[in-house]
Amino acid sequence: MTTGVLAEYGGQTRENEHNLMLEHYLNDMVNSLIEMNNGVGTYYDFVGLVLNGFPIEVLNNCGYTLQGVQVHYNNFLNFVQQPGGVNEMLLSCE
């Protein structure tokens, strides 16, 4: 959990806060990954990675289906397999 979330919501975040994060910060999170990847890739190459980190209840509340997230995540996996797609710094993240 990031410091901003802790400061705004405290240590016990609830589904509402995750909904807010997804609705308002999804683009920023995806764009941050592209930036970390030296500008290589598109929004659609990374959005599945971000969406995959949210609970299904939050995704459903924000209008995403599990099948739709799976399609986005498969796009990410295909991107990762391309030569030069994802830099070593991102690949080494756990």
Give the distance between the most distant pair of CA atoms in the chain: 42
Higher pLDDT, 9 or 84: 84
Q: What pLDDT shows up at residue 15?
A: 55
Could you report the per-residue pLDDT of 28-86, keeping only the tens digit for each? 999 999 999 999 999 999 999 999 988 888 888 888 999 999 999 999 999 989 888 88
Return the DSSP state at 84. T
| H-type alpha helices, the chain | 3-9, 15-36, 43-51, 56-61, 66-81, 88-91
Which sequence spans correspond to the domains of the chain? 15-91
Q: What pLDDT shows up at residue 54?
A: 84
By residue count, the chain amounts to 94
Q: What pLDDT shows up at residue 1?
A: 44
